[in-house]
Structure 1
Amino acid sequence: MSERAMPSSADGLITLDAANVLWADLTADSTVPAAPMALTSPPARPCKGYVLLGAAVVTTTRTNDGQWHVPEAEVRRAAAQLNAVAMNPQDLVRIGPFGKSPQQPFTEETPLRWRQRIMAELQRHRAPEQPAGRPHPLAGIDWRRTLVEQTRTTTRRTWWLPRAVVKLLDAAEHAETQWTRATRPHQRSTTAPEPPPHPRPARTPDRRQTTNPQDTTAPRPYGAELEGQLYSVLSRKPGTSRRVAGWACAVCRTAPATVLDHCHEHGYVRAPLCQSCNTQERPDHLYANDIRVANRYTRLFHTHTEAWLRHWHRCPGCRARTTLPLPHLAAWTAHIACRSLRPTHQAPRGRKPCGLLRVSWTGSQNTPRSCLLTITVDFCPSGEHRVLARVPYREATERFRNWLADTAPAVAAAAGPDRLDGLPAQARPVIVDTSGEGLSLF
């Protein structure tokens, strides 16, 4: 690779056109394909004060001549970070589609949200009435060159990206959020929570939304009718989907059930759930053998603890062994057992936890002696991928049993080793279920 000399000003600033050339030249040999017009092609908007190059935020400055410039050193640093990423094109992660969601227009102020952008662009290109147009790069990455489309039927298509690209775009999305919060704290739009993916329909003033006791179509409460049954057997029975739709969600008890949740480690049915509760229960950003412990676990392990623990223990295997499926046990270990080890930093309203928790593991629950959980902090200013603790699987299960007895004594009392009769001697291996919504191991 021959690096070109870029004309820059005395303070190290170069024009966007020069930065585009420099970025393309420096990343020519990168395993992750980079986009040639990364700083000027949408959704990059230099007028926002920054552009995303890989996982880095490169600041933009408007000079007296009215042109936008970027620091040359930041472009080189971002290119070096991208070149250091190793990508296995065979190690794929499903990114969609995962069901219908309302299309939201993307404007200049819209953050990256790369999953929504890719889905919107792919669906737009598939529509015959829509012009194909030119694909837009994301964070300086030409994701189109790594996209894999798999077709199961004539109408069912799924899209996949290499795991390295998914992690890189996740890091870019996080870096953008952190930069926006740090530079624009006065704008409420940067700190307000995102709107729900499925907005509630507007209520008509003349109609009251009440449940008619005589309405036979209303979902009935779930009464553990499927407890102890194997999902592999039940899912093959005709009429199971229709039967599931007749129940109310076993967790929220309000919405109609749409899926039959089951334990992937032991194979037993838990209960029928609505799509919202089933999504909340999944580990966030599940990769091969590690998960990101997202904010949703604050609800699962704090405000709605007993309800979710009772739901997970509807699996006879988890209930008898007084534990959780491996990904949830890993999330609990990081979020609860290792809470005191997580670093904090000063914030306007006191100290706040730093970075994002991630848990990886070696081995599986099938080999508890060799299974080890490693808790790290990503995006921590004091050190990227800082290791907080390494906890053996057996120690994690013992900590969970003690915590369960103190937190949810009713759930703990229903568990115990006296119910091991009839259970498989060895838990099933943890296998990624690609027929699901892209997230399994729960």
Structure 2
Amino acid sequence: MSERVIPGRRGGLISLGAADALWVDLTSNSAVPTAAAAFTCSPAHARVGYVLLGGRVVATVKASGGQWSVPETEVRRAAAELNAVEMDRQDLVRIGPFRGAPKQEHNEKTPLRWRQRITRELQKLGDPERAARLEGSRPNHLAGIDWRLILVEQTRDRTARTWWLPRAVVRLLDAAEHTETQWLQAARTRQENAAVTEPPSRHGQAQAADGRQTTGPDCPTAPLRPYNGELKGHLYAVLSRRPGISHKVAGWTCAVCRTAPAAVLDHCHEHGYVRAPVCHSCNTQERPDHLYGNDIRVAGHYARLFDTHAADWLRHWHRCPGCRARTTLPLPHLAAWTAHIACRSLRPTHRDSRGRKPCGVLRVSWTGSQNAPGSCLLTVAVDFCPFGEHRVLARVPYREAAVRFGSWLAEAAPAVAAAAGPDRLDGLPARFRPVIADTSGEGLALF
């Protein structure tokens, strides 16, 4: 579209072409790349009553002359929200493909299921003939974001492809999907109420006083509420079976990042307690990178978990009463901490063009389990060393790792450490789980 935006023209309605130009102009310096045809290019479809811009729904209006328009102020608000998003292109989240993912058909009138849409588009492009046919007509954006410019494709063994997006964009698209769902629910409720109190109009549209036709509710969606420990002490196995729990979870803001809508209940796999509702992005970031059941690779995201955002994540993990009472972490997380923090000085380095580079990839495995800490041993090693050296860095007994973590916790997150320990917990469940018998011969104890 080449329609010119008139400087200083604020408020009122503008055409879709003018909205496209305004969106590009306002987001030209945004860290997140935006599309040049956010209102006129598929999957945007103004006739359904709204257009998604980032995490905001912008309602569309049909004037008496048949032209579709949007409120200029809403476009500017959406652009301001997007410009405030900070994006780290190195902090990536895998978005597919995944085995066993449900196949769904989509068209321009279906709600945003952005992971499935991206998978569908990339699978089409894998076929050269179909890619050639779609080259000039395929959608280039989701919620006004040009995701193709920031998609990272990684190939393993020259056959297995995986697709990755920056975490900030994943959170933004998750927020857009949630906002659209809430908006459609509000629209459905308004239509049902209108059908009871008023006769339906000729085309299912409401007419404004100035002759404009609107197709959606002119009201904001219900705001997300912050999580304030409402699920404290609940067992996941019980809570997850309650009717309507998924709808309740979707009404909270993620308890970790506190920006994206929550989507799942994160829980402690060792003790079974619910920690908090979190978004998909934080849930995947928290999950250990398992190679086998007792073997994990210490990936790059652990720097965020134990360095830059350590206090937030430690507070989240210690929402589990069992982990708080033991003043430690679940075994996979404690193993990752031992490799990443406690054994950091043991990791060798090699010369690089920019100085010294850490050797290979850290991996930590364990024998035994936390249920018998006296016989549990953590082994920290380096894989993929360019010179074939530096295999095993350290073997750390579980008890020693737990003691080291407790000392580090007091320095890294003193508020979390002050609330930990069996003598400093209030409201523990009557049948508390983490007191486990140690069969090593030293008697029963918290470890």
Q: TM-score, normalised by structure 2?
A: 0.51
User: In structure 1, how many angstroms separate the alpha carbons of the residues matched to 2:101 and 2:290?
Assistant: 14
Identity %: 67
Q: Which residue of 2 aligns with 1:360?
A: 365
What residue number does 1:410 align with? 415
* Residue matched to 1:103: 119
Change in CA separation of 1:370 and 1:273 when aligned onto 2, cut-off 3 Å: same
Tell me the equivalent position of 2:253. 248
- AA aligned opposite 1:390: R
Look up the SS of the partner of 1:336 in the other structure: helix
Identify the match of residue 301 of structure 1 among 306, 316, 319.
306
Are 1:366 and 1:426, in contact at CA under 8 Å, matched by a contact in 2?
no
8 Å CA contact 1:249, 1:256 repeated in 2: yes
Q: Secondary structure at the match of 2:335?
A: helix
- Provide the rounded CA distance (Å) in 2 between the counterparts of 1:357 and 1:316: 30
Confirm or deny that 1:233 pairs with 2:246. Answer: no
1:286: how far off? 3.8
Residues of 1 paired with 2:390 and 2:157: CA distance? Answer: 16
1:33-87 per-position Cα deviation (integer Å, ceiling 9, x unaligned): xxxxxxxxxxxxxxxxxxxxxxxxxxxxxxxxxxxxxxxxxxxxxxxxxxxxxxx
Secondary structure in 2 aligned to 1:369?
helix
- 1:220 corresponding residue in structure 2: 225
Name 2:189's counterpart in structure 1.
none
CA contact (8 A) 2:379 2:394 kept: yes
Describe the superposition over 1:95-143 as per-residue Cα deviations: whole angstroms up to 9, x where unpaired: 524573523888xxxxxxxxxxxxx59x999xxxx9xxxxxxxxxxxxx
Q: Which of 338, 344, 348 is 1:343 aligned to?
A: 348
Q: State whether residues 266 and 427 of structure 1, in contact with CA within 8 Å, keep that contact through their aligned partners in structure 2.
A: no
Residue matched to 2:404: 399
State the AA in 2 paired with 1:196. Answer: P
| Alignment match of 2:263 (pick from 243, 247, 258) | 258
Could you tell me how far 1:294 is from its partner in structure 2? 0.3
Query: Residue in 2 aligned with 1:46?
Result: none
Q: Which runs of 5+ in 2 are unaligned?
A: 1-96, 103-114, 131-153, 174-218, 438-447
Q: Distance in 1 between matches of 2:319 and 2:416?
A: 10
- The one-letter amino acid of 1:96's match is R
Cα distance change of structure 1 residues 257 and 354 upon mapping to structure 2, 3 Å threshold = same
1:320 aligns to what? 325
Quote the Cα distance in structure 1 between the aligned partners of 2:262 and 2:156.
34
Contact 1:378-1:384 at 8 Å conserved across structures: no
Deviations 1:313-336 (A, max 9, x none): 000000111000111100000000
- Residue 279 and residue 194 in structure 1: after superposition, are their counterparts in 2 closer, same or farther (change >3 A)? closer
CA RMSD, 1 decimal: 3.4
SS in 2 for 1:96: coil
Alignment partner of 2:433 out of 424, 429, 437: 424
Q: Structure 1 residue 383: deviation in Å? A: 2.4
Distance 2:431 2:307 in 1: 33
How many angstroms does 1:215 deviate by? 4.1
- 1:186-240 per-residue CA deviation (whole Å, 9 max, x = no partner) reads xxxxxxx964375657xxxxxxxxxxxx845221000100001111111111111
Whether the aligned pair in 1 keeps the contact of 2:326 and 2:434 (CA below 8 Å) is no
Query: 1:267 & 1:407 partners in 2: Cα distance?
Result: 26
Assess if the C-alpha contact under 8 Å between 1:345 and 1:354 holds in 2. yes
Separation of aligned partners in 1, 2:300 and 2:382 = 14
Return the offset for 1:384: 6.0
Q: Which of 329, 337, 342 is residue 332 of structure 1 equivalent to?
A: 337
Kept in 2, the 8 Å contact 1:358–1:377? The answer is yes
- Partners of 1:390 and 1:406 lie apart in 2 by 24
Matches within 5 A, 1:22-421: 96-97=99-100, 100-101=115-116, 102-103=118-119, 120=123, 172=157, 195-196=165-166, 215=220, 217-383=222-388, 386-418=391-423, 419=425
Rounded Cα–Cα distance in structure 2 between residues aligned with 1:404 and 1:397:
10
Shift, 1:423, TM fit: 1.5
Would the alpha carbon gap of residues 377 and 238 (structure 1) be closer, same or farther in structure 2, given more than 3 Å must change? same
What is the TM-score when the length of structure 1 is the normalising length? 0.51
Structure 2 CA distance for partners of 1:344 and 1:172, relative to 1, 3 Å = farther
Take 1:376 and 1:105, find their aligned partners in 2: how far apart are those partners? 40
Judged with a 3 Å threshold, the aligned counterparts in structure 2 of structure 1 residues 386 and 124 are, in CA distance, closer, same or farther, namely: same
Greater shift in the superposed pair: 290-299 or 377-386:
377-386
Displacement of 1:407: 1.1
Return the alpha-carbon distance in structure 2 between the equivalents of residues 224 and 295 of structure 1: 30
Look at both structures and tell me which one has the larger radius of gyration over its CA atoms: 2
Question: CA offsets per residue over residues 295-318 of structure 1, 9 Å max, x none?
Answer: 000111111000000000000000
Task: Call closer, same or farther: CA 1:236–1:194 in 2, change over 3 Å.
Answer: closer
SS in 2 for 1:217: coil
Shift of 1:242: 0.8
Q: In structure 2, how many angstroms separate the alpha carbons of the residues matched to 1:217 and 1:427?
A: 45
Question: 1:425: Cα distance to partner?
Answer: 5.0
Alpha carbons of structure 1 residues 299 and 425: separation in structure 2 relative to 1, 3 Å:
closer
Q: Does the 8 Å CA contact 2:322/2:434 hold for their aligned counterparts?
A: no
Q: Please tell me whether the aligned partners of residues 265 and 427 of structure 1 are also in contact (alpha carbons under 8 angstroms).
A: no
Shift of 1:171: 7.5
Change (3 A) 1:406 1:367: same
